[in-house]
Amino acid sequence: MNHQQIIKKDEIKASKFFVVNVDSFSNLVNSIQKELWRYSNYRSILQDLGKGKSFQDYSLDSSSQLILFKDQVVSPNDPKIQLSIFQKPHDSPLARHPGQGKTLKPIKKDFHWSGMTQFIKDYVSSCQQCSTHKNIHHNRFRLLKPLPIPNGP
C-alpha cells in the first residue's frame, strides 16, 4: 500500500453524500421554522416559550429556535416537510428501503408530528420498490409430491 491509497474512493463518495445531507438538513430546519409560524397553535407555543413560559413536554431549542416535544423536533402537518424528513431514511441509496419498523425508528427518535406512524406505514406500503423487492418471510415452497391413486371410488 502506498501513500496514494490511504483515502479510498468509497470514503470520498460517502463524504460527498454527508455534505449533501448537512445542506439539506439546514434547508429542512429553515422550512420547519417557517411553517411552524403559519399554524396558530404552534405560533402561540413559540411565542410563549420565547417569553420563558413552560409547557409540559415542550421546550424551545435555543440554537435552531425549533419546538421540541420530549427532545424531538416538532414538525408541522405539512406533507412536503414530512416527506423530506421521511424520504432520506427510507429512499436514499444507503438506506435501501428498510421497511416500516426500521424506517420509523430513527425518525421517531428525532421528529414528532401527529399521525407520523400511520403516515410512514402508508408510504412504505405504497412504495413500489419495497413491494417488488420485499424479502420473503416464510420458508421456501417444497416440491410437490403426487398423491397416491385410490383403489376404488
pLDDT surpasses 70 at 137: no
Q: For residues 91 and 127, give the distance between their C-alpha atoms in angstroms, rounded to a whole number.
A: 9
Dihedral in degrees, nearest 10, Cα atoms 109, 133, 138, 124: 40
Q: For residues 67 and 76, give the distance between their C-alpha atoms in angstroms, rounded to a whole number.
A: 10
Per-residue cell: 142: 417444497
Read off the pLDDT band of 23 (50, 70, 90): low
What is the set of domains in the chain, with CATH numbers?
8-132 (1.10.340.70)
Residue 6 CA to chain centroid, in angstroms?
Answer: 33
Q: Would you state the pLDDT for residue 135? A: 63
Unique residue bearing C-alpha cell 444507503: 94
Q: Would you state the pLDDT for residue 139? A: 75
DSSP run (H or E) holding 130: helix 128-132
